C-alpha cells in the first residue's frame, strides 16, 4: 500500500497548494491513502468544518492534528461528527473526537493513530502507554498502522519510534514545521522520520510572517502573527507498506515547490 502523508497544512497558502496539487501527488506516488495534518488549517490555528470538508472532497482520507486543533470553538463540536478528523489520542478521557481511525483501504485494514508529546508541550497523558493501549485494542488483523506523533523534542520522537519499532508500519513526526532528513526503516520494519515538515509558505518562520515572528523575539509588545506568503511548498512523506506484514518497504521525503 502506498501512503501519502502531508505535513501540517498552514493557512490559505498551504490549503491552496494541497487543493491544486493533490491529484498530481496522488498520481506521482500512486497513493492508496492520503493523510494530512490539519492543526493549522484555518489561518494557522485549528480548522473550520468547510475547510475540512474541502479536503475530504478532493480525496484526503484521514486528517490528524495536534496542539492547535481546538483553538477554534467550532472544531470542538465538529470533531465528534467527523471520524476522519483525529485529535491526539492521549488527550484526557472525555475529549471530543477520537485519536484513532480504523478503516478499509482497498479491502485492507488500516489504522491511523494520532499522539502528542509532553516534552516542551502542555500536559497530556503518557504517549508511550497510550500507544500500547491503542495497539492492544486494535484488531490484530489490522496490519497497516500509521502513527502521527505531534511533538517538539527530537528525543521524545525518536524514543517513541524505537519503542514502536515492529509494532506499527510507520511513525512520523509533526509539529516543528521543519522537515528532518533522518527518514529510515528501523530494524523491525517501522518507517520513521522525526518531522515531515510543513505545507504552506516557506518565506516566513514555520509558516508565519517572518517580520511578525522576529518582532516577537525582539520585543515584548508585538502581538500580531499573520501567516506568511510566498515560497509555498508541500512537505510530507510517501510510504510503501507491505499489506501482508504491515512492515514498511520504503519511506521517502518530499518538499514540493508549488507555484499557482
> Helix or strand or coil: residue 26?
helix
Q: Which residues bind Fe ion (CB under 5 A)?
A: 8, 39-40, 66-67, 175
Residue 255 binding partner per list Fe ion, its own copies, none, with a CB distance cut-off of 5 to 8 Å that depends on partner kind: its own copies
What distances in angstroms separate CA 114 from CA 32, 128, 242, 250, 251, one per listed residue?
Answer: 19, 12, 21, 21, 19
What distances in angstroms separate CA 48 from CA 37, 88, 193, 198, 206, one per listed residue?
Answer: 14, 18, 29, 19, 21
Residues 47-76 that bind its own copies (CB under 8 A): 70, 73, 76
Note if 258 is an active site residue: no
Angle, alpha carbons 145-147-151 (nearest 5°): 170
Report the alpha-carbon distance of residue 249 to residue 63 in Å, rounded.
Answer: 23
Determine whether the annotation assigns residue 150 to a binding site: yes
- Is 82 among the residues that bind its own copies (CB under 8 A)? no
Of 74, 125, 242, 243, the one binding its own copies by CB under 8 A:
125
Determine whether the annotation assigns residue 74 to a binding site: no
Residue 8 binding partner per list its own copies, Fe ion, none, with a CB distance cut-off of 5 to 8 Å that depends on partner kind: Fe ion
Residue 66 binding partner per list Fe ion, its own copies, none, with a CB distance cut-off of 5 to 8 Å that depends on partner kind: Fe ion
Q: Measured from the CB atom, is 183 or 240 closer to its own copies?
A: 183
Residue 120 binding partner per list Fe ion, its own copies, none, with a CB distance cut-off of 5 to 8 Å that depends on partner kind: its own copies
- Is 154 among the residues that bind its own copies (CB under 8 A)? yes
β-strand partners of 114: 148
Q: Tell the smallest beta-carbon distance from residue 82 to Fe ion (Å).
A: 19
Report the alpha-carbon distance of residue 258 to residue 260 in Å, rounded.
Answer: 6
Of 176, 190, 199, 227, the one binding its own copies by CB under 8 A:
176
Q: Which of 127, 9, 2 is nearest to 63 (CA)?
A: 9
Under a CB-based contact definition with an 8 Å cutoff, are residues 179 and 195 in contact?
yes
Of 105, 142, 159, 256, the one binding its own copies by CB under 8 A:
159
| Lookup result for grid cell 481546538 | 70
- Residue 24's CB: how many other CB atoms inside 10 A? 12
Q: Measured from the CB atom, is 8 or 61 closer to Fe ion?
A: 8
Full DSSP string of 52-63: HHHHHHTT--EE
Angle, alpha carbons 43-59-56 (nearest 5°): 50
Determine whether the annotation assigns residue 8 to a binding site: yes
How many chain residues touch its own copies (CB under 8 A)? Answer: 53
- Is 220 among the residues that bind its own copies (CB under 8 A)? yes
Residue 257 binding partner per list Fe ion, its own copies, none, with a CB distance cut-off of 5 to 8 Å that depends on partner kind: none
Q: Which of 25, 29, 5 is nearest to 191 (CA)?
A: 5
Residues that bind its own copies (CB under 8 A): 70, 73, 76, 91-96, 118-120, 122-126, 128-129, 152-156, 158-160, 162-163, 176-182, 194-195, 197, 202, 205-206, 210, 213-214, 217-221, 223, 253, 255
Residues with a known catalytic role: 68
Which residues belong to the annotated binding site? Answer: 8, 39-40, 67, 150, 175, 177
Amino acid at each position: 500500500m502506498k501512503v501519502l502523508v502531508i505535513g501540517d497544512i498552514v493557512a490559505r497558502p498551504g490549503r491552496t497548494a494541497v487543493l491544486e496539487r493533490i491529484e498530481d501527488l496522488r498520481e506521482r506516488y500512486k497513493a492508496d491513502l492520503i493523510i494530512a495534518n490539519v492543526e493549522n488549517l484555518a489561518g494557522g490555528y485549528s480548522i473550520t468544518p468547510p475547510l475540512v470538508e474541502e479536503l475530504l472532497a478532493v480525496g484526503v482520507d484521514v486528517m490528524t492534528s495536534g496542539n492547535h486543533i481546538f483553538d477554534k470553538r467550532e472544531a470542538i463540536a465538529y470533531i465528534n461528527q467527523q471520524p476522519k478528523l483525529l485529535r491526539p489520542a492521549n488527550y484526557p478521557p472525555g475529549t471530543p473526537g477520537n485519536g484513532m481511525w480504523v478503516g478499509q483501504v482497498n479491502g485492507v485494514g488500516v489504522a491511523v493513530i494520532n499522539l502528542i508529546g509532553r516534552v516542551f508541550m502542555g500536559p497530556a497523558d503518557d504517549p508511550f502507554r497510550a500507544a500500547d493501549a491503542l495497539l492492544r485494542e486494535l484488531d490484530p488483523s489490522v496490519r497497516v498502522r500509521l502513527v502521527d506523533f505531534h511533538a517538539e523534542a527530537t528525543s521524545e520522537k525518536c524514543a517513541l519510534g524505537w519503542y514502536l519499532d515492529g509494532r506499527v508500519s510507520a511513525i512520523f513526526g509533526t509539529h516543528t514545521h521543519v522537515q528532518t532528513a533522518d527518514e529510515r526503516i528501523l530494524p523491525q520494519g517501522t518507517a520513521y522520520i522525526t518531522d515531515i515538515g510543513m505545507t504552506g509558505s516557506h518565506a516566513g518562520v514555520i509558516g508565519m510572517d517572518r517580520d511578525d515572528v522576529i518582532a516577537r523575539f525582539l520585543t515584548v509588545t508585538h502581538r500580531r502573527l499573520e501567516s506568511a506568503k510566498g515560497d509555498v511548498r508541500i512537505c510530507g512523506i510517501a510510504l510503501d507498506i507491505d499489506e501482508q506484514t504491515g512492515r514498511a518497504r520504503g519511506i521517502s521525503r518530499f518538499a514540493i515547490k508549488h507555484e499557482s
